[in-house]
Chains A and B, each alone.
Chain A
Amino acid sequence: MKLTPIFLFFIIFLSEAQWERSELKDSGINPEKFSEFVQYVFEQTEQKRTNALVVIHKGKLIFEQYARGFHPESKFRLWSISKTISALIFARAIKEGLIGLDEPVASFFPKVSEQMGKIKVRDLMNMSSGIEFEENYINPMASSTIKMLYGREGMDITSYLTSLPMQSPPGEVFRYSSGDTNFLMALLRERLKQKISLEAYQNYPWTSFFQPLQIEATFETDSTGLFIGSSYVYMSARDLAKVGELLLRQGRFNEEEFIPREFIEFMSTLSPGMKNAAPSSGSHHESYGAQIWLNQIFTKTDGQSYGPYIPSAPESLIIGRGYAGQGLYMFPHKSLIVIRLAHDKKRVMNWQKFGELILNSFEDIP
Protein backbone atom coordinates (compact mmCIF):
# COMPACT_ATOMS: atom_id res chain seq x y z
CA MET A 1 0.00 0.00 0.00
CA LYS A 2 1.35 3.41 -0.96
CA LEU A 3 1.19 5.90 1.89
CA THR A 4 -0.27 9.24 0.90
CA PRO A 5 1.03 12.39 2.68
CA ILE A 6 -2.33 12.76 4.51
CA PHE A 7 -2.18 9.18 5.78
CA LEU A 8 1.41 9.69 6.89
CA PHE A 9 0.37 12.81 8.76
CA PHE A 10 -2.25 10.85 10.71
CA ILE A 11 0.26 8.12 11.60
CA ILE A 12 2.72 10.68 12.92
CA PHE A 13 -0.04 12.59 14.73
CA LEU A 14 -1.38 9.48 16.44
CA SER A 15 2.02 8.10 17.38
CA GLU A 16 3.02 11.36 19.01
CA ALA A 17 -0.12 11.04 21.17
CA GLN A 18 -0.55 14.79 21.52
CA TRP A 19 2.57 15.50 23.58
CA GLU A 20 4.67 18.47 22.59
CA ARG A 21 8.35 17.62 22.82
CA SER A 22 11.21 19.58 24.28
CA GLU A 23 14.89 18.69 24.12
CA LEU A 24 16.56 17.74 27.37
CA LYS A 25 19.24 20.38 26.87
CA ASP A 26 16.56 23.10 26.55
CA SER A 27 14.97 22.12 29.87
CA GLY A 28 17.94 23.30 31.95
CA ILE A 29 18.41 19.86 33.48
CA ASN A 30 21.83 18.72 34.61
CA PRO A 31 22.62 16.10 31.91
CA GLU A 32 25.13 14.09 33.95
CA LYS A 33 22.80 13.78 36.91
CA PHE A 34 19.85 12.96 34.68
CA SER A 35 21.85 10.25 32.96
CA GLU A 36 22.71 8.81 36.40
CA PHE A 37 18.96 8.73 37.17
CA VAL A 38 18.11 6.94 33.89
CA GLN A 39 20.90 4.45 34.43
CA TYR A 40 19.61 3.67 37.92
CA VAL A 41 16.07 3.09 36.66
CA PHE A 42 17.11 0.67 33.92
CA GLU A 43 20.05 -1.12 35.54
CA GLN A 44 19.69 -4.68 36.90
CA THR A 45 17.29 -5.42 34.01
CA GLU A 46 16.56 -8.98 35.10
CA GLN A 47 15.65 -8.01 38.66
CA LYS A 48 14.21 -4.52 38.26
CA ARG A 49 12.41 -5.21 34.98
CA THR A 50 11.71 -1.57 34.16
CA ASN A 51 9.53 -1.41 31.06
CA ALA A 52 9.13 2.34 30.60
CA LEU A 53 10.34 5.68 31.87
CA VAL A 54 8.60 8.88 30.77
CA VAL A 55 9.40 12.40 32.00
CA ILE A 56 7.17 15.42 31.42
CA HIS A 57 8.43 18.86 32.38
CA LYS A 58 6.29 22.00 32.21
CA GLY A 59 3.76 20.19 30.01
CA LYS A 60 6.32 18.89 27.51
CA LEU A 61 7.67 15.42 26.91
CA ILE A 62 11.39 15.71 27.58
CA PHE A 63 12.39 12.08 27.87
CA GLU A 64 11.07 8.58 27.25
CA GLN A 65 12.77 5.22 27.14
CA TYR A 66 11.33 1.74 26.83
CA ALA A 67 12.74 -1.73 27.42
CA ARG A 68 11.90 -5.44 27.23
CA GLY A 69 10.00 -5.08 23.95
CA PHE A 70 7.66 -2.26 25.03
CA HIS A 71 7.34 0.93 22.97
CA PRO A 72 5.51 4.31 23.09
CA GLU A 73 2.23 2.82 21.83
CA SER A 74 2.30 -0.19 24.19
CA LYS A 75 -0.38 -0.46 26.81
CA PHE A 76 0.79 -1.19 30.36
CA ARG A 77 -0.76 -2.75 33.42
CA LEU A 78 -1.26 0.04 35.94
CA TRP A 79 -2.37 -2.13 38.84
CA SER A 80 -3.22 0.21 41.76
CA ILE A 81 -2.59 3.40 39.80
CA SER A 82 -6.02 2.37 38.49
CA LYS A 83 -7.40 3.53 41.85
CA THR A 84 -6.38 7.13 41.18
CA ILE A 85 -7.91 6.98 37.70
CA SER A 86 -11.12 5.43 39.05
CA ALA A 87 -11.41 8.24 41.60
CA LEU A 88 -11.09 10.81 38.80
CA ILE A 89 -13.78 9.05 36.76
CA PHE A 90 -15.98 9.08 39.87
CA ALA A 91 -15.23 12.79 40.29
CA ARG A 92 -16.70 13.43 36.85
CA ALA A 93 -20.00 12.08 38.19
CA ILE A 94 -19.65 14.43 41.19
CA LYS A 95 -19.09 17.35 38.82
CA GLU A 96 -22.20 16.36 36.87
CA GLY A 97 -24.21 16.43 40.11
CA LEU A 98 -24.97 12.71 39.96
CA ILE A 99 -23.33 11.78 43.23
CA GLY A 100 -22.05 13.46 46.40
CA LEU A 101 -19.07 12.83 48.69
CA ASP A 102 -21.27 12.74 51.79
CA GLU A 103 -23.87 10.32 50.50
CA PRO A 104 -24.16 7.15 52.60
CA VAL A 105 -23.98 3.64 51.17
CA ALA A 106 -27.58 3.05 52.35
CA SER A 107 -28.85 5.43 49.68
CA PHE A 108 -27.39 3.08 47.04
CA PHE A 109 -27.79 -0.30 48.75
CA PRO A 110 -30.67 -0.08 51.28
CA LYS A 111 -30.40 -3.78 52.24
CA VAL A 112 -26.84 -3.74 53.67
CA SER A 113 -26.21 -3.86 57.44
CA GLU A 114 -26.96 -0.71 59.41
CA GLN A 115 -23.28 0.02 60.04
CA MET A 116 -22.26 -0.58 56.42
CA GLY A 117 -25.11 1.64 55.33
CA LYS A 118 -23.51 4.53 57.22
CA ILE A 119 -20.26 4.44 55.21
CA LYS A 120 -19.97 7.63 53.19
CA VAL A 121 -18.48 8.02 49.73
CA ARG A 122 -15.64 10.06 51.27
CA ASP A 123 -14.79 7.20 53.67
CA LEU A 124 -14.35 4.83 50.72
CA MET A 125 -12.23 7.42 48.93
CA ASN A 126 -10.09 7.76 52.07
CA MET A 127 -9.68 3.96 52.44
CA SER A 128 -11.45 4.18 55.77
CA SER A 129 -14.72 2.34 55.17
CA GLY A 130 -14.20 0.04 58.16
CA ILE A 131 -15.07 -3.03 56.07
CA GLU A 132 -12.98 -6.07 57.01
CA PHE A 133 -10.83 -6.65 53.95
CA GLU A 134 -7.45 -8.38 54.00
CA GLU A 135 -5.20 -6.64 51.47
CA ASN A 136 -2.61 -9.34 51.15
CA TYR A 137 -0.77 -10.79 48.17
CA ILE A 138 1.22 -13.44 49.99
CA ASN A 139 -1.22 -15.80 51.71
CA PRO A 140 -3.82 -16.76 49.07
CA MET A 141 -6.09 -18.43 51.64
CA ALA A 142 -6.36 -15.30 53.79
CA SER A 143 -6.26 -12.64 51.09
CA SER A 144 -9.49 -10.80 50.28
CA THR A 145 -7.72 -9.19 47.30
CA ILE A 146 -6.91 -12.55 45.70
CA LYS A 147 -10.47 -13.77 46.32
CA MET A 148 -11.85 -10.59 44.76
CA LEU A 149 -9.59 -10.58 41.72
CA TYR A 150 -9.27 -14.31 40.97
CA GLY A 151 -11.67 -16.29 43.17
CA ARG A 152 -15.32 -17.19 42.65
CA GLU A 153 -16.14 -14.17 44.84
CA GLY A 154 -14.67 -11.99 42.11
CA MET A 155 -17.28 -13.01 39.58
CA ASP A 156 -19.69 -10.69 41.39
CA ILE A 157 -17.58 -8.24 43.37
CA THR A 158 -20.54 -6.17 44.57
CA SER A 159 -22.17 -9.18 46.27
CA TYR A 160 -18.82 -10.14 47.80
CA LEU A 161 -18.09 -6.69 49.22
CA THR A 162 -21.58 -6.07 50.58
CA SER A 163 -21.44 -9.45 52.37
CA LEU A 164 -18.25 -8.63 54.31
CA PRO A 165 -18.40 -7.79 58.02
CA MET A 166 -17.42 -4.41 59.47
CA GLN A 167 -14.18 -4.17 61.43
CA SER A 168 -14.30 -0.58 62.67
CA PRO A 169 -16.73 2.36 62.49
CA PRO A 170 -16.73 4.16 59.11
CA GLY A 171 -14.22 6.99 58.65
CA GLU A 172 -12.04 6.22 61.66
CA VAL A 173 -9.29 3.81 60.64
CA PHE A 174 -7.22 3.98 57.47
CA ARG A 175 -6.85 0.49 56.06
CA TYR A 176 -5.60 0.30 52.45
CA SER A 177 -8.22 -1.74 50.63
CA SER A 178 -8.80 -2.58 46.99
CA GLY A 179 -12.29 -3.45 48.16
CA ASP A 180 -13.02 0.20 48.98
CA THR A 181 -12.20 1.31 45.42
CA ASN A 182 -14.39 -1.38 43.88
CA PHE A 183 -17.16 -0.45 46.29
CA LEU A 184 -16.98 3.05 44.78
CA MET A 185 -17.39 1.52 41.32
CA ALA A 186 -20.47 -0.33 42.59
CA LEU A 187 -21.96 2.94 43.90
CA LEU A 188 -21.28 4.61 40.56
CA ARG A 189 -23.07 1.79 38.76
CA GLU A 190 -26.09 1.99 41.06
CA ARG A 191 -26.37 5.73 40.65
CA LEU A 192 -26.00 5.75 36.87
CA LYS A 193 -28.51 2.90 36.64
CA GLN A 194 -30.97 4.89 38.81
CA LYS A 195 -30.52 8.24 37.09
CA ILE A 196 -29.63 7.36 33.48
CA SER A 197 -29.19 3.73 32.44
CA LEU A 198 -26.95 0.70 32.85
CA GLU A 199 -25.59 1.39 29.38
CA ALA A 200 -24.49 4.84 30.57
CA TYR A 201 -22.39 3.14 33.26
CA GLN A 202 -20.84 0.70 30.79
CA ASN A 203 -19.65 3.61 28.63
CA TYR A 204 -19.03 6.12 31.42
CA PRO A 205 -15.21 5.82 31.78
CA TRP A 206 -14.87 6.56 28.07
CA THR A 207 -17.60 9.17 27.56
CA SER A 208 -16.78 11.11 30.71
CA PHE A 209 -13.04 10.72 31.01
CA PHE A 210 -10.90 8.81 28.50
CA GLN A 211 -12.35 10.23 25.29
CA PRO A 212 -12.23 13.93 26.27
CA LEU A 213 -8.60 13.45 27.33
CA GLN A 214 -7.86 11.42 24.17
CA ILE A 215 -6.70 8.45 26.19
CA GLU A 216 -6.92 4.97 24.69
CA ALA A 217 -7.63 2.78 27.70
CA THR A 218 -8.78 -0.70 28.53
CA PHE A 219 -10.83 -1.07 31.71
CA GLU A 220 -11.66 -4.64 32.69
CA THR A 221 -14.75 -5.75 34.60
CA ASP A 222 -15.96 -8.67 36.68
CA SER A 223 -18.46 -11.11 35.16
CA THR A 224 -21.37 -8.78 36.01
CA GLY A 225 -19.77 -5.82 34.20
CA LEU A 226 -18.52 -3.98 37.32
CA PHE A 227 -15.35 -2.02 36.55
CA ILE A 228 -12.45 -3.38 38.60
CA GLY A 229 -11.27 0.10 39.54
CA SER A 230 -8.76 -1.20 42.06
CA SER A 231 -6.46 -2.85 39.55
CA TYR A 232 -7.40 -3.23 35.90
CA VAL A 233 -6.91 -0.04 33.90
CA TYR A 234 -4.41 -0.30 31.03
CA MET A 235 -2.98 2.51 28.90
CA SER A 236 0.24 3.77 27.34
CA ALA A 237 2.82 5.60 29.45
CA ARG A 238 2.19 8.76 27.41
CA ASP A 239 -1.53 8.54 28.13
CA LEU A 240 -0.85 8.01 31.82
CA ALA A 241 1.17 11.23 31.73
CA LYS A 242 -2.06 13.01 30.72
CA VAL A 243 -3.62 11.84 33.99
CA GLY A 244 -0.57 13.22 35.80
CA GLU A 245 -0.86 16.52 33.98
CA LEU A 246 -4.55 16.76 34.90
CA LEU A 247 -3.65 16.34 38.58
CA LEU A 248 -0.77 18.83 38.38
CA ARG A 249 -3.15 21.37 36.83
CA GLN A 250 -5.60 20.94 39.71
CA GLY A 251 -8.18 19.26 37.48
CA ARG A 252 -8.04 21.75 34.62
CA PHE A 253 -7.96 20.55 31.02
CA ASN A 254 -8.02 22.80 27.93
CA GLU A 255 -8.35 25.81 30.25
CA GLU A 256 -11.58 24.47 31.69
CA GLU A 257 -12.43 22.79 34.97
CA PHE A 258 -12.59 19.09 34.06
CA ILE A 259 -12.42 17.75 37.62
CA PRO A 260 -13.64 20.03 40.47
CA ARG A 261 -10.67 21.77 42.10
CA GLU A 262 -12.11 20.95 45.52
CA PHE A 263 -12.01 17.27 44.63
CA ILE A 264 -8.30 17.44 43.73
CA GLU A 265 -7.71 19.23 47.05
CA PHE A 266 -9.66 16.48 48.81
CA MET A 267 -7.52 13.82 47.08
CA SER A 268 -4.31 15.46 48.25
CA THR A 269 -5.47 16.03 51.83
CA LEU A 270 -4.39 13.48 54.42
CA SER A 271 -7.02 10.79 55.01
CA PRO A 272 -8.43 11.50 58.52
CA GLY A 273 -8.12 7.81 59.35
CA MET A 274 -4.30 7.98 58.98
CA LYS A 275 -4.07 8.90 62.65
CA ASN A 276 -5.38 5.40 63.38
CA ALA A 277 -3.74 3.66 60.41
CA ALA A 278 -3.85 -0.10 60.69
CA PRO A 279 -0.35 -1.62 61.09
CA SER A 280 -0.67 -3.66 57.89
CA SER A 281 -1.35 -0.61 55.71
CA GLY A 282 1.91 -0.07 53.83
CA SER A 283 5.17 1.04 55.40
CA HIS A 284 5.09 3.37 58.39
CA HIS A 285 6.19 6.33 56.29
CA GLU A 286 3.57 6.28 53.57
CA SER A 287 0.72 8.73 53.88
CA TYR A 288 -2.54 8.55 51.95
CA GLY A 289 -5.13 11.02 50.73
CA ALA A 290 -8.10 9.90 48.64
CA GLN A 291 -7.11 7.12 46.21
CA ILE A 292 -3.61 8.59 45.97
CA TRP A 293 -0.42 8.40 48.02
CA LEU A 294 1.02 11.54 49.60
CA ASN A 295 4.43 12.59 50.86
CA GLN A 296 3.25 14.18 54.09
CA ILE A 297 4.37 13.97 57.68
CA PHE A 298 1.59 12.67 59.90
CA THR A 299 1.12 11.92 63.56
CA LYS A 300 -0.73 8.91 64.87
CA THR A 301 -2.79 8.84 68.05
CA ASP A 302 0.15 7.26 69.87
CA GLY A 303 1.94 10.61 69.41
CA GLN A 304 4.54 9.27 67.00
CA SER A 305 5.23 11.11 63.74
CA TYR A 306 5.85 9.38 60.42
CA GLY A 307 7.01 10.38 56.94
CA PRO A 308 7.68 11.79 54.51
CA TYR A 309 8.00 8.75 52.25
CA ILE A 310 10.48 10.48 49.92
CA PRO A 311 12.56 12.68 52.29
CA SER A 312 14.28 14.59 49.45
CA ALA A 313 10.93 15.76 48.04
CA PRO A 314 8.52 18.36 49.43
CA GLU A 315 5.19 17.45 50.99
CA SER A 316 3.39 18.59 47.82
CA LEU A 317 4.53 15.44 45.97
CA ILE A 318 1.62 13.15 45.08
CA ILE A 319 2.08 9.56 43.97
CA GLY A 320 0.12 6.97 42.07
CA ARG A 321 1.54 3.57 42.92
CA GLY A 322 0.86 0.06 41.77
CA TYR A 323 1.88 -3.52 42.34
CA ALA A 324 5.17 -4.70 40.79
CA GLY A 325 6.75 -1.26 40.75
CA GLN A 326 4.35 1.02 38.90
CA GLY A 327 4.91 4.67 39.77
CA LEU A 328 3.32 7.95 38.69
CA TYR A 329 5.24 10.68 40.53
CA MET A 330 3.93 14.25 40.35
CA PHE A 331 6.16 17.05 41.68
CA PRO A 332 4.10 20.28 41.55
CA HIS A 333 7.04 22.44 42.72
CA LYS A 334 8.99 21.55 39.56
CA SER A 335 5.98 21.06 37.20
CA LEU A 336 7.39 17.59 36.77
CA ILE A 337 5.83 14.19 36.10
CA VAL A 338 7.92 11.04 36.20
CA ILE A 339 6.45 7.67 35.21
CA ARG A 340 8.12 4.35 35.76
CA LEU A 341 6.31 1.17 34.68
CA ALA A 342 7.72 -2.27 35.37
CA HIS A 343 7.34 -5.91 36.22
CA ASP A 344 9.36 -5.47 39.41
CA LYS A 345 7.72 -8.18 41.50
CA LYS A 346 10.66 -8.40 43.90
CA ARG A 347 10.44 -4.65 44.63
CA VAL A 348 14.05 -4.00 43.72
CA MET A 349 13.45 -0.32 42.99
CA ASN A 350 14.42 1.95 45.86
CA TRP A 351 11.90 4.78 45.49
CA GLN A 352 13.75 7.06 47.92
CA LYS A 353 16.82 6.88 45.66
CA PHE A 354 14.57 7.28 42.60
CA GLY A 355 13.17 10.53 44.05
CA GLU A 356 16.55 11.82 45.12
CA LEU A 357 18.22 11.20 41.75
CA ILE A 358 15.47 12.81 39.67
CA LEU A 359 15.33 15.87 41.93
CA ASN A 360 19.11 16.19 41.83
CA SER A 361 18.93 16.62 38.05
CA PHE A 362 16.37 19.40 38.47
CA GLU A 363 17.96 21.19 41.42
CA ASP A 364 19.12 24.21 39.39
CA ILE A 365 15.68 24.76 37.92
CA PRO A 366 13.41 27.03 39.96
Chain B
Amino acid sequence: MKYLSLLFFLFIFLTEIFIHAELPENVASYYAKEFCSCFFVLEREEEFCHKEHASVVPRIGFELNLEEKKVTSGLFHQISYQYTGPQLGCRRIID
Protein backbone atom coordinates (compact mmCIF):
# COMPACT_ATOMS: atom_id res chain seq x y z
CA MET B 1 0.00 0.00 0.00
CA LYS B 2 2.86 2.28 0.97
CA TYR B 3 4.59 1.66 -2.38
CA LEU B 4 1.35 2.14 -4.28
CA SER B 5 0.84 5.62 -2.85
CA LEU B 6 4.48 6.43 -3.56
CA LEU B 7 4.05 5.31 -7.16
CA PHE B 8 0.87 7.33 -7.44
CA PHE B 9 2.64 10.40 -6.09
CA LEU B 10 5.49 9.88 -8.56
CA PHE B 11 2.99 9.50 -11.40
CA ILE B 12 1.31 12.79 -10.48
CA PHE B 13 4.68 14.52 -10.09
CA LEU B 14 5.96 13.37 -13.48
CA THR B 15 2.66 14.19 -15.20
CA GLU B 16 2.92 17.69 -13.76
CA ILE B 17 6.44 18.02 -15.07
CA PHE B 18 5.57 16.84 -18.58
CA ILE B 19 2.28 18.67 -18.95
CA HIS B 20 3.26 21.89 -17.21
CA ALA B 21 6.81 21.98 -18.47
CA GLU B 22 7.31 25.55 -17.30
CA LEU B 23 9.15 24.82 -14.06
CA PRO B 24 11.86 22.43 -15.31
CA GLU B 25 12.28 24.58 -18.40
CA ASN B 26 12.81 27.73 -16.32
CA VAL B 27 15.27 25.91 -14.07
CA ALA B 28 17.25 24.77 -17.11
CA SER B 29 17.08 28.24 -18.60
CA TYR B 30 18.34 29.85 -15.37
CA TYR B 31 21.31 27.51 -15.17
CA ALA B 32 22.29 27.87 -18.83
CA LYS B 33 21.85 31.66 -18.82
CA GLU B 34 23.67 32.41 -15.61
CA PHE B 35 26.47 29.96 -16.35
CA CYS B 36 26.91 31.43 -19.84
CA SER B 37 27.20 34.99 -18.47
CA CYS B 38 29.49 33.91 -15.62
CA PHE B 39 31.84 31.98 -17.89
CA PHE B 40 31.93 34.20 -20.99
CA VAL B 41 31.02 37.71 -19.76
CA LEU B 42 32.60 37.67 -16.30
CA GLU B 43 35.35 35.38 -17.64
CA ARG B 44 35.36 33.23 -14.52
CA GLU B 45 36.54 29.62 -14.30
CA GLU B 46 34.13 26.76 -15.06
CA GLU B 47 34.24 25.41 -11.52
CA PHE B 48 33.55 28.83 -10.01
CA CYS B 49 30.49 29.32 -12.22
CA HIS B 50 29.08 25.90 -11.34
CA LYS B 51 29.58 26.58 -7.64
CA GLU B 52 27.82 29.96 -7.85
CA HIS B 53 24.69 28.61 -9.52
CA ALA B 54 24.38 25.00 -8.40
CA SER B 55 23.52 26.34 -4.97
CA VAL B 56 20.37 27.91 -6.45
CA VAL B 57 19.08 25.26 -8.87
CA PRO B 58 20.25 21.72 -9.72
CA ARG B 59 22.76 21.11 -12.51
CA ILE B 60 20.98 18.78 -14.94
CA GLY B 61 21.97 17.83 -18.47
CA PHE B 62 24.67 20.46 -18.59
CA GLU B 63 26.86 20.90 -21.63
CA LEU B 64 29.48 23.57 -22.37
CA ASN B 65 30.47 23.83 -26.03
CA LEU B 66 33.59 25.96 -26.15
CA GLU B 67 33.84 25.96 -29.93
CA GLU B 68 30.35 27.36 -30.46
CA LYS B 69 30.43 29.29 -27.16
CA LYS B 70 27.16 27.62 -26.27
CA VAL B 71 25.79 26.48 -22.93
CA THR B 72 22.98 23.92 -22.70
CA SER B 73 21.06 22.73 -19.66
CA GLY B 74 18.04 20.53 -18.92
CA LEU B 75 16.99 16.93 -19.22
CA PHE B 76 13.70 16.74 -21.13
CA HIS B 77 13.47 20.43 -21.96
CA GLN B 78 16.92 21.52 -23.05
CA ILE B 79 17.61 25.24 -23.21
CA SER B 80 20.69 26.79 -24.82
CA TYR B 81 22.33 30.19 -24.60
CA GLN B 82 25.08 31.39 -26.88
CA TYR B 83 27.74 33.98 -26.21
CA THR B 84 27.54 36.60 -28.97
CA GLY B 85 30.46 38.83 -27.95
CA PRO B 86 31.60 41.34 -25.33
CA GLN B 87 28.88 43.85 -26.18
CA LEU B 88 25.71 41.74 -26.15
CA GLY B 89 26.85 38.82 -23.99
CA CYS B 90 24.65 35.71 -23.86
CA ARG B 91 21.39 35.25 -25.70
CA ARG B 92 18.86 32.40 -25.65
CA ILE B 93 18.77 30.33 -28.80
CA ILE B 94 15.26 29.98 -30.22
CA ASP B 95 14.34 26.29 -30.32
Contact = CB atoms under 8 A, between A and B. Distances in A.
Contacts of B48: 69
A150 interface: yes
A19 interface: no
Interface residues of A, number: 27
B43 interface: yes
Contacts of A76: 42
Given A218-B89, A220-B88, A345-B55, A75 B41 contact: yes
Contact of B26 (A77, A147, A216, A343): A147
Contacts of B89: 218-220, 232, 234
Interface string B72-95: 000000000000001111111110
Interface stretch (A2-10, A22-30, A119-127, A151-159): A151-159
B87 A219 contact: yes
A103 to B, nearest CB: 27
Contacts of B93: 223
A74 interface: yes
B46 interface: no
Nearest to A68: B48
Q: Tell which of B25, B27, B55, B87 has the most Cβ of chain A within 10 Å.
A: B87
B52 A343 contact: yes
A165 interface: no
A220 B37 contact: yes
How would you classify the secondary structure of chain B's contact residues: helix, strand, loop or mixed?
Answer: mixed
A141 B22 CA distance: 8
Contact of B88 (A141, A221, A343): A221
B10 interface: no
Contacts of A218: 41, 86-89
B94 to A, nearest CB: 5
Nearest to A51: B42
A195 B44 CA distance: 40
A146 to B, nearest CB: 6
A13 B44 CA distance: 24
Interface string A188-227: 0000000000000000001000000000101111110000
Given A75-B43, A219-B87, A141 B37 contact: no
Contacts of B37: 77, 220, 232, 234
Given A150-B33, A234-B37, A140 B52 contact: no
Given A232-B89, A234-B89, A140 B23 contact: yes
Interface of B: 22-23, 25-27, 29-30, 33, 37, 41-45, 48, 52, 55-56, 86-94
